[in-house]
A and B are shown apart, each in its own frame.
Chain A
């Protein structure tokens, strides 16, 4: 699999969540294409030196969410049908988590609501300049 994963065990975020998010992100941006085969649990566990039960849990969760599907004896694949929609949903989930973290951190720092709203607007204007009218 050409996708690179960066797992940091010292970060407070559980390892299986880190990997789940990164796999979702790879699907959302198309780095993992619809129909693409994922490595086996054992191969990915060895590649990332992660516990095989952790990888199996990630695959089970992604399967339940419809991001990947497993064909007995053939392996796990990125879901083919309706993947464009799925990728959009997944992208928005991953983005939401990032926004939630940022808002939580701003609140922890004591940034007032109005100021935070302005900060967000500034960032949106920076990254979506074409929408400015």
Chain B
């Protein structure tokens, strides 16, 4: 279990994290979404005390971060931190000495999965291979806590898939996974929870299915002049947009009931639209003033 509460970070006058709170239960995969600069990497860094937060608390399996936590914590940073002059194999040796939980057989498997040459020097690795080596190091200790900052960056589609399989395998075994990505479609498949950051604040979080189910769009088309903004269907509708002949109502009520009311109010056609994660994300990060 990863529990982040009220994490706050300021750089001089600028607040880059503002009370970030999120939970990742055991066996759960939580996707961390947000535009570039929204605070995803800072969240990881503050959670791991690589940057000092100004406020907030982070607990791993119910305990604050301790040296021992790293025995079961896998971290893939957004920029791989490798030693340029060491080989892939030397990186594994370092990990073997640093972690009692290091599993050499598992590491060999992972090297083969990611097609890494043990003799290659880190400075000769491509961007994707650097990510791959970071993943090998993170998963070689069979971690129960995973913090993955864009773990598929630079990877080809097959290795992206291999990475998702590793994440799913770990979660099936009870690991808590927090992973940031811009690949919303991938995340929607693999994650069961999501947290969306905007300007350092969590603007949407929770169970993905529940979020998708909580709000629907009812789209209705009216003949010219037939639409009346006092139609009872719009009571209890969070917001609605009216573009030309089309009306789009965002509602948490039973969408079929709203649709039926709009049909009675004279709509020529009505349909209920389900929302996917990308819709929810776009809505959550939309600038308030632009609405």
Contacts and interface: CB of A to CB of B under 8 A. Distances in A.
Contacts of B168: 42, 45-46, 49-52
Given A45-B172, A52-B27, A108 B165 contact: no
A15 B169 contact: no
Nearest to B25: A53
B156 interface: no
B209 interface: yes
B29 A51 contact: yes
A110 interface: yes
Interface stretch (A5-13, A24-32, A69-77, A124-132): A5-13
B55 interface: no
A11 B276 CA distance: 7
Given A51-B29, A105-B271, A9 B169 contact: no
Interface of A: 7, 9-16, 41-42, 45-46, 48-54, 104-105, 107-110
18 contacts: A9-B188, A10-B278, A12-B275, A16-B209, A42-B169, A45-B168, A46-B169, A48-B189, A49-B186, A49-B190, A50-B189, A51-B171, A53-B27, A53-B192, A105-B271, A108-B269, A110-B268, A110-B269
Given A9-B276, A42-B172, 16 more contacts: A10-B188, A10-B276, A11-B274, A12-B274, A41-B172, A46-B165, A46-B168, A49-B164, A50-B189, A51-B171, A51-B189, A52-B171, A53-B192, A54-B192, A54-B209, A107-B270
